[in-house]
Amino acid sequence: MPPHGSTSSAGVSQTIDAVLERWTAFRGSAVQGSRGSGFRGSGVHERRYDLPADYWDKYPERITAVTPAQVQPAAKKYLDPARLQIVAVGDPTKVGETLKGFGTVETYDTEGKRVTSTSSQ
């Protein structure tokens, strides 16, 4: 499937804004998920990845300390809007219009067959 998107300055800016918006949402859910999650404290991740014993205790602090200003240079360095693809699962009538702002929207049925392709133009 060919990549969709724009390599223009506006396209890069829009992509970075979307990443920052998702990062903000992730920060909140990551902090929530790290408290009381099923694998926390089991020791499996700590041993497998050689993590310090207080890794999960300090995790929320580390995640919330990351700012959009720190995410933006990484996004510019590693994300190429012309090669990004967004995958959304759900009712296309509810998310389709929002996704059109990022480029062409292709809709597939539950069998993986293309139902529609709608350009953002």
Verify that 65 and 104 share a domain, yes or no.
no
Both tokens of 55, joined, read 């890794």
Both tokens of 85, joined, read 């693809």
Q: What is the 3-class SS of 70-85, one letter each residue?
A: HHHHHHHHHCCCCCCC
Verify that 50 and 24 share a domain, yes or no.
yes
Arithmetic mean of pLDDT, 75-97: 84
CB atoms within 10 A of CB 1: 6
Verify that 60 and 3 share a domain, yes or no.
yes
**Angular region, 42: left φ>0, alpha ψ -120 to 50, beta rest:** alpha
Verify that 68 and 92 share a domain, yes or no.
no
**Does the global pTM surpass 0.85?**
no
Domain of 90 in residue numbering reads as: 86-121
In the predicted structure, residue 3 carries a pLDDT above the cut 50: no
Verify that 76 and 90 share a domain, yes or no.
no
Q: What's the rounded Cα separation, in Å, for the pair 83 and 22? A: 18
Number of domains the chain is built from: 2
Arithmetic mean of pLDDT, 36-44: 57
- Interior/surface letters 34-70, b for 16+ CB within 10 angstroms, e for the rest: beeeeebeeeeebeeeeeeeeebeebbeebeeeeeee
Verify that 109 and 71 share a domain, yes or no.
no
Verify that 45 and 91 share a domain, yes or no.
no
Verify that 19 and 42 share a domain, yes or no.
yes
Would you place residue 15 in the very low, low, confident or very high pLDDT band (cuts 50, 70, 90)?
A: confident
In the predicted structure, residue 1 carries a pLDDT above the cut 70: no
Per cent of the chain over pLDDT 90 is 2
